[in-house]
């Protein structure tokens, strides 16, 4: 069950739920329950992936691809690959050696529901599966497109992207970061995969360079705003809403936007970023309203 | 420094050292030491990759590619990608939640030299980097070739390959396996990546189907023989030779070829597999002698 995006306006809420359900079906199909002894691995992957989630990155991938009339079977496969990478990062981030989280999306984390070794392998396998999906001709008949998807995802998820950002996040527990470093960390940790989600739509649609750049700029501002609001939610939210523990960043001594600039300035910053993100979409001449609505939702969300 | 393959015959020994050094240079170039705060991540990756190793999989990739006159810059990049995947699997397998190993190739394991979180991320990033390398035009100008490399590596390393085999290996600590299951586990855990190493040479060289099949069959038998000899070495070797602790499988209660069929029958099996592996190379009419020599070395090695 996908959590209801209750802070979204009604039309967006319907579309978010529909998109999440479509991607959930694709992911379900791509993660068959195995029948052999290693079944446990697939059960853990399914636990880490199919237990809910707003499917924000799949939403971006599919609705950016829609701007270029991409076949939805293709964009859903890419959306699933991106969500697999996102979920692998959550599974590994939740491990005792990292955030040591007990809950995720209101369910026990994978290492709690299974065990640590299985959680490590489930994350590894989801990451690997993402690249298998992108390189498959079913994702796109043109191998140039498939290679570009693989390379861009690897760059977004690797040492100069998500994984590097996670390393910085861990270093930030024992070292105080200035605002520039926090922004850089968040761009790597969250921004690059969100940017790839948007960019993947442009890659699938063989979009012009200006269209592609517009989506990347939108995604960068949106990703940063998402992280600022995440930091705000971490200090003020109800675990019942977010499905995870509150105040964990502060308890871990992490530098966040809120700890560095204070809550009210952080909120101002998020508003400014959302406005800026929507401004990049002007080039689509009113055809990207759904992406603007999503940006507004990111600002308004309570979970 | 690569450990000297002292049980190899002299010409093979020279070639193994030369090949290892060439691949080490390629890997060194592909893993630049970063200068930012996340430097720690790259330092851990370099520790896990560049601390020695026989570079058996790179040897297979490069010398199989040589059968089809593939440009060595291309085969070395693929060899590096495969070794990155192998090293990521070692880093994760050595973690406290898995084998809890203190030593690897005579050096402290990555989580001992750094910490667990860094070791998890270093493994994740090496896996990601491997796919980035394969999808890069520098690896091969033809995108069909690159996509095939990505897809085949993902299949060899994923849930029906290496990661699934590792899951089975863990399950085997608490459950007794019959010989069929042990063979299947080892084919997944070790065989598939070795087979991909050989197959990658055929993919890069756009080899005919019979040539490609011959190399896959060679690799499958070699991989299984490699694992049987590994089990024998685990019970009888000197840690000074192997650079890792002895008797760990028995201590962990794992089912191995040796625990299931006894040492002398295991050795017979390894000899039979090596003979069989070389027989598949007949199709190359004497041009694959170096691969036969390597098979003999796998049988003779003491480390």
pLDDT in tens, A244-254: 666 667 667 77
Q: Is the sign of the CA dihedral B124, B126, B132, B134 positive or negative?
A: negative
Residue with tokens 């005792």: A96
State the pLDDT confidence band at A1, using cuts at 50, 70 and 90.
very low
- The answer, yes or no, to whether residue B28 has pLDDT greater than 90, is no
The pairing of strands B107-108 and A107-108 is: unpaired
Q: DSSP string of B110-164?
A: HHHHS-HHHHHHHHHHHHHHHHHHHHSTTT-S-HHHHHHHHHHHHHHHSTTTHHH
Between A and B, how many residue pairs show a Cβ–Cβ distance under 8 A? 162
Contact present, A219 and A140 (Cβ < 8 Å): no
Residue A14's CB is within 10 A of a number of other CB atoms, namely: 12
Q: Which helix (H) or strand (E) element contains residue A277?
A: helix A263-279
CA–CA separation, A96 and A92 (whole Å): 9
- A159 and B132 within 8 Å at the Cβ level: the answer is no
The predicted model gives A4-20 an average pLDDT of: 77
pLDDT in tens, A152-188: 999 999 999 999 999 999 998 888 888 888 889 989 9
pLDDT in tens, B208-227: 999 999 999 999 999 999 99
Whole-model pTM? Answer: 0.92
The predicted model gives B68-88 an average pLDDT of: 96
State the pLDDT confidence band at B2, using cuts at 50, 70 and 90.
very low
- Reference B223, options B255, B193, B256, B264; nearest CA is B193
State the pLDDT confidence band at A242, using cuts at 50, 70 and 90.
low
| Assigned token pair, A60 | 């971006």
- Residue B108 in 3-state DSSP? strand
Residue A49's CB is within 10 A of a number of other CB atoms, namely: 26
Q: What is the pLDDT of residue B160?
A: 92
- The answer, yes or no, to whether residue A84 has pLDDT greater than 90, is yes
Lowest average pLDDT, out of A142-151, A210-219, A233-242, goes to A233-242
CA of A113 vs chain B CAs: smallest distance (Å): 15
Kindly list the residues from chain B whose CB atom is less than 8 angstroms away from the CB atom of residue A146: 143, 147, 150
Integer Rg of chain B from CA: 18
Residue with tokens 């090695």: B301
Q: What is the pLDDT of residue A244?
A: 62
- The answer, yes or no, to whether residue B87 has pLDDT greater than 60, is yes
Lowest average pLDDT, out of A74-78, A109-113, B243-247, goes to B243-247
Contacts 24+ apart (CB under 8 A), B84-87: B84/B27, B84/B30, B84/B49, B84/B126, B84/B127, B84/B129, B84/B130, B84/B133, B85/B126, B85/B127, B85/B130, B85/B153, B85/B157, B85/B162, B85/B193, B86/B57, B86/B193, B87/B48, B87/B49, B87/B53, B87/B126
Q: What is the pLDDT of residue A5?
A: 65
Kindly list the residues from chain B whose CB atom is less than 8 angstroms away from the CB atom of residue A135: 135, 147-148, 150-151, 154
Beta-strand ranges (E) seen in chain A are 103-104, 107-108
Distance of alpha carbon B21 from the chain centroid = 16
Question: Across chain B, what does the average pLDDT equal?
Answer: 90
pLDDT in tens, B35-74: 676 789 999 999 999 987 889 999 999 999 999 999 999 9
CA–CA separation, B175 and B197 (whole Å): 31
Residue of A nearest to B172 (CA): A37
Q: What is the pLDDT of residue B54?
A: 85
- The answer, yes or no, to whether residue A2 has pLDDT greater than 60, is no
Q: What is the pLDDT of residue B108?
A: 96
- The answer, yes or no, to whether residue B3 has pLDDT greater than 50, is no
- A117 and B97 within 8 Å at the Cβ level: the answer is yes
Q: Which domains, and CATH codes, for chain A?
A: 10-300 (1.10.600.10)
- The answer, yes or no, to whether residue B7 has pLDDT greater than 80, is no
């Amino acid at each position: 069950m996908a959590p209801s995006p209750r802070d979204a306006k009604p039309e967006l809420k319907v579309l978010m739920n529909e998109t999440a359900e479509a991607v959930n079906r694709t992911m379900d199909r791509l993660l068959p329950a195995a029948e052999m002894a290693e079944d446990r691995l697939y059960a853990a992957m399914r636990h880490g992936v199919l237990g809910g989630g707003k499917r924000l990155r799949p939403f971006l991938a599919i609705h950016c691809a829609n701007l270029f009339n991409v076949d939805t079977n293709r964009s859903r496969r890419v959306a699933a690959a991106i969500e697999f990478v996102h979920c692998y990062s959550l599974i590994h981030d939740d491990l005792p050696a990292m955030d040591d989280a007990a809950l995720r999306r209101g369910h026990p984390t994978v290492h709690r529901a299974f065990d640590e070794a299985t959680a490590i392998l489930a994350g590894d396998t989801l990451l690997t599966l993402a690249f298998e999906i992108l390189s498959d001709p079913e994702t796109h008949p043109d191998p140039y497109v498939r290679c570009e998807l693989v390379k861009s995802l690897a760059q977004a998820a690797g040492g100069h992207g998500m994984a590097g950002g996670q390393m910085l996040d861990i270093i930030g527990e024992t070292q105080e970061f200035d605002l520039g470093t926090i922004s850089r960390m968040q761009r790597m940790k969250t921004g690059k995969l969100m940017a790839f989600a948007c960019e993947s739509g442009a890659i699938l649609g063989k979009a012009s360079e200006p269209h592609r750049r517009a989506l990347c700029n939108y995604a960068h501002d949106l990703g940063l705003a998402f992280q600022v609001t995440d930091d705000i939610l971490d200090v003020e939210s109800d675990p019942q809403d977010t499905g995870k523990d509150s105040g964990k960043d502060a308890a871990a001594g992490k530098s966040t936007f809120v700890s560095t600039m204070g809550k009210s300035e952080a909120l101002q910053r998020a508003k400014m970023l959302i406005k800026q993100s929507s401004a990049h979409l002007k080039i689509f001449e009113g055809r990207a309203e759904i992406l603007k609505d999503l940006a507004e939702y990111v600002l308004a969300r309570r979970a």
